[in-house]
Chain A
Amino acid sequence: NAGVTQTPKFRILKIGQSMTLQCTQDMNHNYMYWYRQDPGMGLKLIYYSVGAGITDKGEVPNGYNVSRSTTEDFPLRLELAAPSQTSVYFCASSYSANRGNSPLHFGNGTRLTVT
């Protein structure tokens, strides 16, 4: 049972480069999320999606874009990488909006360094 799969695991980018962080889930979950975790900080929500074709901004969306063309996939795009985007990125999914009984399932993260 794969759950939530993120690729790549690690990436080093130069300032101004672009990349897409991939996320796919095989649990048929409608809700998907992108978080970033900076050292000593909690997880901050970047973007989320409540279903295919529907996305919305979280707490820290600047510098990122997302799309949700299928239920399974929720890629995160960095257009012009900046050092402030150095972080660990986690993708997550959940079955429903019943937050107590439908917790988030996380991928193992992508560690991104921008230099």
Chain B
Amino acid sequence: DQQVKQNSPSLSVQEGRISILNCDYTNSMFDYFLWYKKYPAEGPTFLISISSIKDKNEDGRFTVFLNKSAKHLSLHIVPSQPGDSAVYFCAASEPGTYKYIFGTGTRLKVLA
């Protein structure tokens, strides 16, 4: 049973436009959600996080929105740049544990 789902395996966006990456989850007890970016042959790197008590968190070009009633979060990248081309993983943490549950990732390609 996959608790964190990224239903779009890939996404292509023109440079300068908005990229929207989506993530759905099933466990309403998750208390933190994180986004990681991964380039080929490298480990994932942390991008941005959001607490379950918030509905928005912004860091420069990156904004994460959380809709708890829909159990859905999204990552917005504005404006998109070719260097943003990578695989993006959504992750959620279980309260009372030290575990992160990862989605399967979305490959973003930003076209110049």
Chain A interface residues (CB < 8 Å from chain B): 4, 31, 33, 35, 40-45, 48, 50, 58-59, 90, 92, 97, 99-101, 103-109
> Contacts A42-B89, A100-B50, A103-B49 hold; do A108 and B42 have CB atoms under 8 A apart?
yes
Q: Which residue of A lies closest to B44 (CB)?
A: A106
Q: Which A residue's beta carbon lies closest to that of B2?
A: A42
A109 and B40 alpha carbons, distance in the complex (Å): 11
Q: Are B98 and A108 in contact (CB under 8 A)?
A: no
Q: What's the interface size class on B, roughly? A: 20 to 34
B51 smallest CB distance to A (angstroms)? 5
Complex: A107 Cα to B34 Cα, angstroms: 18
Nearest-Cβ distance from residue B32 to partner chain A, whole angstroms:
4
In the bound complex, do residue B4 and residue A108 qualify as a contact, i.e. CB atoms below 8 Å apart?
no
Least Cβ distance of A81 to chain B in Å? 22
In the complex the two chains form, is B43's CB within 8 Å of A97's CB? Answer: no
Q: What are 12 A-to-B residue pairs whose CB atoms are below 8 Å? A: A40-B9, A40-B104, A58-B99, A59-B99, A92-B43, A97-B98, A99-B32, A99-B49, A101-B49, A103-B36, A105-B46, A109-B43
Q: Please name all residues of chain B whose beta carbon is closer than 8 Å to the beta carbon of A109 when the two chains form the complex.
A: 41-43
Per DSSP, are chain B's interface residues mostly helix, strand or loop, or mixed? Answer: strand
- Which among A40, A44, A90 is the interface contact of B44 at CB below 8 angstroms? A90
The distance in angstroms between the C-alpha atoms of A33 and B102, with both chains bound, is 13
A105 to B45, CA, bound (A): 7
Chain A, Cβ-Cβ closest to B89: A42
**B55 within 8 Å of A (CB atoms):** no
B100: A residues at CB distance < 8 A: 43, 45, 99, 104
10 A-B pairs besides A44-B102, A59-B99 with CB distance below 8 A are A42-B102, A45-B100, A99-B34, A100-B50, A103-B34, A103-B36, A103-B46, A104-B44, A105-B46, A106-B36
- CB pair B89–A43 under 8 Å, yes or no, is yes
